[in-house]
Amino acid sequence: MPMRLLSLLTTLFVLCSFARAEDGSALWLRYATNGQSEVIVQRQSPTINIAASELRKAWLMPVPVALEIRSDKEHRALGNEGYTIRTTIGAKQVTVTSSGDQGLLYGAYHLLQLQATGQLEGTKLDRLDISEKPDYKIRILNHWDNLDGTIERGYAGHSLWNWDELPAVISPRYEAYARANASIGINATVLNNVNASPEILSANYLQKVKALADIFRPYGVKVYLSINFASPMALGGLPTADPLNKEVAAWWKQKVKEIYSVIPDFGGFLVKANSEGQPGPCDYGRTHAEGANLLADVLKPYQGIVMWRAFVYSPSDSDRAKQAYLEFEPLDGKFRENVIVQIKNGPVDFQPREPFSPLFGAMKKTAVMPELQITQEYLGFSNHVAFLAPMWKECLDSDTYAQGEGSTVARVTDGSLYGHSLAAIAGVSNIGNDVNWCGHPLAQANWYAFGRLAWKHDLSAEQIGEEWLRLTFLPVADARTVGIEPAEDREQLNWLLTLLNAEILQKSREAVVDYMMPLGLHHLFAWNHHYGPEPWCDIEGARADWMPAYYHRADPNGIGFDRSSTGSNATAQYHSPLCEQYDGLDTCPEKLLLWFHHVPWTHSMKSGRTLWDELCYTYDRGVQTTRQFQKIWDRAETFIDRQRFEDVQHRLRIQSRDAVWWRDACLLYFQQFSKQAIPHELERPVHNLKDMMEFKLEITNFECPPYGFTK
Ligand code: BDP
């Protein structure tokens, strides 16, 4: 073979393996694979075997690791998922201990993460003394995956679950998925959409679910399902799904028995009832509690639970933000012990910024859990970078004042405030079958962040961002990866990762708020797909509370939704002193001002500017920040493999263009009411309002299945 051809082939081969190695599929698990140290185990089990094999492959330190089960007081208190990691035998061994197999697996991943992020260097290895246990008992992903392979609000390709081929064909990605979850402490998953097809409970589908459950089990990931409340009719042929009907109860009892005969450790049901056209107990004049309790009673003998969603809003009420509270607060104490009410972080719907849902402060006798949205339905899909840990922290750290100061959403929900034994947190998954799992390479950080916060809610967003960046972009120790010499460039790379964390990840969610919906604005989205701006959107015959004007209420006097005591009085759903704080125009935090108040355009803001000018400045700041993201990211070019570098670079261009689109659309539209000029020092719009109103933003990178909403 001529030399030139040979060298071309070699280059091609290197490029191909390079592309495979850095396509993002390895997530934050880019461990070395040349481990040689000894791993000592006392006994075998499927879970312990995984822990040992992970360590055998990747543990590079010159001391052995031992995995030991202990049942003393310390370990009983840590529970079977908690663990310790200590340097023992005069610094000649690292010992991971737990009272359960699962804790050993989590401990093993923790140890490997310390190694991969350079935290065992020097003498640090000699002094390990770590003790961990999770804050939430159930750390669960909610997949909005349909049985036809589409994903509602999914922006990373089709569903991972290949229902047509299951259970006969098992994709290797099922195990990779379980492993990724276990590595960050996620221990549960709801496989299907909350807008659930009754079919999922058919005998045929249960076999498919079983196949997945069997793969996930050794990784400690338990399977749950979303159910359709009318399943007894659709599947069982009954004339009703009334929860108080005996035949309905018998049908559920039998179905649950069947499920447990197939999947003995099945977790339970997630239910969206009487919401956006879904069936539910209210169809029969029954309450949410009566509906939930019916299911709870039949699941109880098997230790199954019901996660009953509080995402409800009827078209009749004047303020959608009050609905969940109005329906659920009177039911506090009426739910069975194995029911937990799942509440979205904000009172409306996963907007870029909302106050926390007042329902967290209202339910005391009933366990409640936060539902966070990892998929970026309202934050630019997988085109925009939006690191969500700061947003989730904002909610979890909010003080409800339900039992006086310090009653944070985190403490209400982790079981510590009221002593509920059920404690859970859910994240609507951003995972699809894209090679890199999440579409945007930086969106993997949100999956990671959800797991980390579910494990330990007082971790800072900065720490989580830094961990993720280091695990994802630092060359692995046996690096055949980015083509840089780790030793030489390590310092610069560390500097770069710190910069990416501080200047991109940490600022990204706030930037999205700024260019989409600053100062408490919300729901200005285009009809149905929720990607671009359409503050003017007005679909004939559609529900008022699906229209932007319902939320922004712009008129010649001002803008914003008056939810104060002079308006819908939603502020009264919060405990004092928040209630008064939100209620006062001057005391309400400016970032939530237009959520709670209708404010005159000339209102003087803390900056000394008028509201109109402040709005213009904030929209523009969002645009300028995304331009800044582009500049910073380009510095990564020589450090990060080409594939991931270019992918992010490309998406940042889209984001910057969209940010301008958002700013121009909103400002030009609202200007019709404010009748004021955009401050002269700011960039001028590059679009015309008329053109924008006629243009339908082209969306290419996501699925848009039919949602089946009814009015
Ligand atoms: C909304 C989504 C819709 C979901 C709904 C829900 O637009 O697709 O079905 O939430 O959470 O945000 O049930």
Please give the radius of gyration of the chain, using alpha carbons only, rounded to the nearest integer: 26
The CATH H-level superfamily of 22-133 is Chitobiase/beta-hexosaminidase domain 2-like (3.30.379.10)
Residue tagged 């169809």 (tokens): 283
Residue tagged 């229902």 (tokens): 163
Ligand 1 nearest atom to the CA of residue 275, by list position = 13
The pLDDT score that the predictor gives to residue 490 is 79
Query: How far apart, in whole angstroms, are the C-alpha atoms of residue 588 and residue 582?
Result: 4
What's the average model confidence in pLDDT over 183-199? 98
349: Cβ below 6 Å to ligand 1? yes
DSSP letter string, 131-192: EE--S-SEEEEE--B-TTS-BTT--SSS-S--TTTTTT---HHHHHHHHHHHHTT--EEE-S
The pLDDT score that the predictor gives to residue 488 is 60
- Comparing CA positions, the residue from 172, 489, 168, 346 lying closest to residue 160 is 172
- pLDDT (tens digit per residue) in 15-55: 444 444 589 999 999 988 888 889 999 999 999 999 999 99
**Residue 469 Cα to chain centre, angstroms:** 18
pLDDT of residue 420 exceeding 70: yes
378: Cβ below 6 Å to ligand 1? no
Residue having the nearest C-alpha atom to atom 13 of ligand 1: 194
- pLDDT (tens digit per residue) in 527-569: 888 999 999 999 888 888 889 999 999 999 999 999 999 999 9
CA dihedral 325, 419, 397, 156 (to 10 degrees): -80
Largest CA distance in the chain: 85
Helix H, strand E, coil C: the string for 266-294 is CCEEEECCCCCCCCCHHHHCCCHHHHHHH
**b/e map 649-665, b = 16+ CB within 10 Å:** eebbebbbebbbbbbbb
Residue tagged 């679009």 (tokens): 687
| Helices 444-455 & 172-183 angle (0-180, nearest 10) | 50
The pLDDT score that the predictor gives to residue 415 is 96
Instruction: Tell whether the torsion through CA atoms of 170, 176, 181 and 182 is positive or negative.
Output: positive
Give me the residues paired with residue 307 across strands. 270, 340
Whole-number Å distance, alpha carbon 173 to ligand 1 midpoint, is: 26
pLDDT of residue 480 exceeding 50: no
- Which is higher by pLDDT, 182 or 707? 182
Q: Which helix (H) or strand (E) holds 630?
A: helix 611-634
The pLDDT score that the predictor gives to residue 476 is 60
Give me the residues paired with residue 373 across strands. 428
Q: Alpha helix locations (H) across 239-346?
A: 246-262, 288-299, 323-328
- pLDDT (tens digit per residue) in 490-519: 788 889 999 999 999 999 999 999 999 999
The CATH H-level superfamily of 138-473 is Glycosidases (3.20.20.80)
The residues that are catalytic are 276, 349, 377
Whole-number Å distance, alpha carbon 41 to ligand 1 midpoint, is: 46
- Comparing CA positions, the residue from 494, 201, 210, 509 lying closest to residue 354 is 509
Mean confidence (pLDDT) of the chain:
93
- Comparing CA positions, the residue from 258, 237, 331 lying closest to residue 293 is 331
What's the average model confidence in pLDDT over 78-103? 95
Pairing of the two strands 93-98 and 65-69: parallel
pLDDT > 70: percent of the chain: 93
The pLDDT score that the predictor gives to residue 702 is 43
- Comparing CA positions, the residue from 661, 652, 657 lying closest to residue 534 is 661
The pLDDT score that the predictor gives to residue 478 is 42
Label residue 351 by pLDDT band (50, 70, 90).
very high
Query: How far apart, in whole angstroms, are the C-alpha atoms of residue 398 and residue 395?
Result: 5
The pLDDT score that the predictor gives to residue 89 is 84
- Determine the residue of 349, 372, 381, 530 to mutate for testing ligand 1's pocket, defined as the one with the most ligand atoms within 8 A of the Cβ atom: 349
Whole-number Å distance, alpha carbon 350 to ligand 1 midpoint, is: 9
- pLDDT (tens digit per residue) in 45-66: 999 999 999 999 999 998 999 9
350: Cβ below 6 Å to ligand 1? yes
The pLDDT score that the predictor gives to residue 706 is 29
Whole-number Å distance, alpha carbon 8 to ligand 1 midpoint, is: 51
Residue having the nearest C-alpha atom to atom 11 of ligand 1: 311
Query: How far apart, in whole angstroms, are the C-alpha atoms of residue 593 and residue 521?
Result: 8
Neighbours of 586 (CB within 10 A): 8
Predicted TM-score of the model (pTM): 0.95
pLDDT of residue 485 exceeding 70: no
Tokens of 519: 């100062």
Q: Which of 185-189, 223-227, 257-261, 695-699 has the lowest mean pLDDT?
A: 695-699
194: Cβ below 6 Å to ligand 1? yes
Query: How far apart, in whole angstroms, are the C-alpha atoms of residue 31 and residue 59?
Result: 9
Where do the structural domains in the chain lie, given as residue ranges? 22-133, 138-473, 511-561+598-694
- pLDDT (tens digit per residue) in 286-342: 999 999 999 999 999 999 999 999 999 887 767 999 999 999 999 999 999 999 999
pLDDT of residue 5 exceeding 90: no
The pLDDT score that the predictor gives to residue 699 is 59
Pairing of the two strands 268-271 and 65-69: unpaired
DSSP state of 504: I
What's the average model confidence in pLDDT over 200-209? 98
Q: Count the residues in the chain.
A: 711
The pLDDT score that the predictor gives to residue 391 is 98
**Residue 140 Cα to chain centre, angstroms:** 10
Query: How far apart, in whole angstroms, are the C-alpha atoms of residue 699 and residue 527?
Result: 13
195: Cβ below 6 Å to ligand 1? yes
Whole-number Å distance, alpha carbon 272 to ligand 1 midpoint, is: 10
Which CATH number, 3.10.310.30, 3.90.1330.10, 3.30.230.10, 2.40.50.140, labels domain 511-561+598-694? Answer: 3.90.1330.10
Phi, then psi, of 279 in degrees rounded to 5: -70, 160
- pLDDT (tens digit per residue) in 257-283: 999 999 999 999 999 999 999 999 999
377: Cβ below 6 Å to ligand 1? yes
